[in-house]
Structure 1
Amino acid sequence: MMTQAASGIDLFIPEVYDIVWSLIILVIVAVFFYKFFMPKFNAIFDERAAKIQGNIAKAEQARKDADEAKAKYEAQLSTARVDAAKIRDDARAEASHIIADARSRAESDAAQITASAQRSIESQHQQAIVSLKGEVGALATALAGKILGAKLEDNDVQSSMIDSMIDDLGAKK
């Protein structure tokens, strides 16, 4: 029997026996695939899903840990800033106290130096007065001796004369 060559759309439509045998082979391959390969694929997929879930959980835990560490760090930073401000304020207060103490000591030292200088000046003034009285007395005695033409030998007379002259000079001031 001679077969006629198919033409047109019949070229694309297979024979019924080809469709049946193709379906039988497809079902056998599908059952074989489902029976042997699908459990392995499912196990691999489940394992991958578990790993992904584990990684997601780890990432979530790492994020929580990072957030906690950040909060702890910020709290420590805040505490450190407060402590630094307190230390800075304490240092300023201590510096002010040290400056005030130094100023007080300087004023006290200046007052002592001034008082000491005042006492020294007063002492030197008294010494100068005593020295001048002695010199004025000696000059007055010498002058009186020249005026009277005689030397005054008696110390009592000399002393009373000097005292009266000094009193006269002091009264004229």
Structure 2
Amino acid sequence: MGPLKPDYPEMAVGLICFFLLFGVLGRILLPRLERTLARRRDAIEGGVERAEAARAEAERTFLEYKQELAAAHHEAARIRQEAAEQGAALLAAAREEGQRERAGLLATAHAQLAVDQALAAVSLQANVGELATELAGRIVGEPLDAFAARRGTVERFFAER
């Protein structure tokens, strides 16, 4: 019958080889293939889950950062306000101290001016008396120093004023 007539020993060897190959594939190769596919699936799906968890963690961290930043801005504004208030208080205190020092300096200067004025007046009175006596002596033609000193004319004149 030719090619359609099976040769039983070859067919038996072929079937044994087929089942042997099928057994090796089923017992060794397919479990390895399944494990590899499971690892890939885990890597892909687990990666998505891990990425989602990391994104949620990053979002939470970002919200905490924004809250801390807002608190820091608030604290900075409070510190600036306190510094401005302290600066205004220090400026007012310095201005008040300056006013007191100015008033003290003015009082001292007025007192010194009064003393200087009195000393100048006394000095000028003595000089005016001498000059007046000398001028009168030139007009009269005789020295009047002794006469003015004896009678106290100059002192009397200034005493009446």
With structure 2 as the length reference, what TM-score do the two structures score?
0.68
Letter paired with 2:154:
G
Once the two structures are superposed, residues 106-133 of structure 1 have per-residue CA deviations (whole angstroms, 9 ceiling, x without a partner) of 2122111111111111001111121222
More helix by share: 2
Letter paired with 1:130:
A
* Runs of at least 5 residues in structure 2 that lack an aligned partner in the other structure: 130-152
Q: What is the CA–CA distance in structure 1 between the aligned matches of 2:2 and 2:121, rounded to whole Å?
A: 169
Identical residues among aligned pairs (%):
12
Ranked by relative contact order (alpha carbons within 8 Å, sequence separation 6 or more), the top structure is 1
| Equivalent residue, structure 1, for 2:89 | 108
Letter paired with 2:19:
P
* Runs of at least 5 residues in structure 1 that lack an aligned partner in the other structure: 1-18, 152-156, 166-173
Q: What is the CA–CA distance in structure 2 between the aligned matches of 1:143 and 1:20, rounded to whole Å?
A: 167
Once the two structures are superposed, residues 144-167 of structure 1 have per-residue CA deviations (whole angstroms, 9 ceiling, x without a partner) of 67576128xxxxx9xxx9xxx9xx
Q: What is the CA–CA distance in structure 1 between the aligned matches of 2:6 and 2:38, rounded to whole Å?
A: 46
Count of aligned residue pairs for this structure pair = 134
Q: How does 1:1-173 map to 2 (within 5 A)?
A: 19=1, 23-25=5-7, 27-34=8-15, 36-46=16-26, 47-141=28-122, 149-150=154-155
SS of alignment partner, residue 149 of structure 1: helix
Q: What is the CA–CA distance in structure 1 between the aligned matches of 2:2 and 2:80, rounded to whole Å?
A: 110
Once the two structures are superposed, residues 57-76 of structure 1 have per-residue CA deviations (whole angstroms, 9 ceiling, x without a partner) of 22222223212211221112
Cα pair distance change 1:135/1:20, threshold 3 Å: closer
Q: What is the CA–CA distance in structure 2 between the aligned matches of 1:111 and 1:49, rounded to whole Å?
A: 90
Letter paired with 1:23:
K
List structure 1 runs of 4+ shifted beyond 6 angstroms.
none
